[in-house]
Amino acid sequence: MAERPFYVTTPIYYVSSVPHVGHAYTSIAADALARFHRTRGPTYFLTGTDEHGQKVAQAAAAAGMTPQTWTDQLVEQWKGLCRRYNVEYDDFIRTTEPRHSDAVVLFFERLKERGDVYLGKYEGWYCTNDETFWLEAKLVDGRCPNPECRREVQWLSEDNWFFALSKYRDRLLEYYRANPQWVRPERSYNEMVATLEGGLEDLCISRVNLEWGVPLPGGGVMYVWLDALLNYITALGWATGDEKFATFWPARVQLIGKEIARFHTIIWPAMLWALDLPAPETVFAHGWITIDGEKMSKSKGNVIEPFAAAERFGADSVRYFLMREAPFGTDFSISLEKIRKRHNTDLGNDLGNLARRSLAMLERYRGGIVPAYSGTSEIASRFADLPARVAARFEALDLRGALEDTWELIAALNRAIDDRRPWELAKRGEDAALDAILYDLCEGLRWCAHLLAPFMPVKAAEMYATLGTGDELGGDWRTDLVWGKLAAGTRARPAEAGLFPRIEDEPPAPAA
Give the helix/strand (H/E) hosting 245: helix 243-248
| Positions in the chain short of pLDDT 50 | 1, 507-512
Contact 224, 52 (CB under 8 A): yes
Q: How many CB atoms lie under 10 A from the CB of residue 278?
A: 12
Contact 451, 39 (CB under 8 A): no
CA angle 212, 213, 217 (to 5 degrees): 120
**In this predicted structure, what is the pLDDT of residue 486?**
96
pTM confidence score? 0.92
- CATH number 1.10.510.10 given to 335-480: no
Q: Domain residue spans in the chain? A: 335-480
Task: With both helix axes pointing from N to C terminus, report the angle between 353-366 and 457-466 in degrees, rounded to the nearest 10.
Answer: 10
478 Cβ neighbours under 8 A, 6+ residues apart: 387, 388
Tell me, letter by letter, the H, E, C secondary structure of 98-148.
HHHHHHHHHHHHHHHHCCCEEEEEEEEEEECCCCEEECHHHCECCECCCCC
**In this predicted structure, what is the pLDDT of residue 510?**
39
**In this predicted structure, what is the pLDDT of residue 303?**
76
Closest CA to 277 of 111, 157, 464, 413: 111
137 Cβ neighbours under 8 A, 6+ residues apart: none
Cβ density class 179-203: b for 16+ within 10 Å, e for less: eeebbbbeebbeebbebbeeebebb
Give the helix/strand (H/E) hosting 336: helix 336-342
Closest CA to 434 of 448, 416, 447: 416
DSSP code per residue over 430-453 = -HHHHHHHHHHHHHHHHHHHHHHT
Distance, CA of 445 to CA of 434 (rounded, Å): 17
Contact 405, 450 (CB under 8 A): no
The pLDDT tens digits of the residues spanning 154-163 come to 887 778 899 9
**In this predicted structure, what is the pLDDT of residue 512?**
36
The pLDDT tens digits of the residues spanning 176-198 come to 999 999 999 999 999 999 999 99
Sign of CA dihedral 140, 146, 150, 156: negative
CA torsion 194→195→199→202, rounded to 10°? -160
Give the helix/strand (H/E) hosting 79: helix 67-84
Closest CA to 299 of 94, 20, 75: 20
Contact 46, 27 (CB under 8 A): no
**In this predicted structure, what is the pLDDT of residue 509?**
43
**In this predicted structure, what is the pLDDT of residue 496?**
65
DSSP code per residue over 455-474 = T-HHHHHHHHHHTT----S-
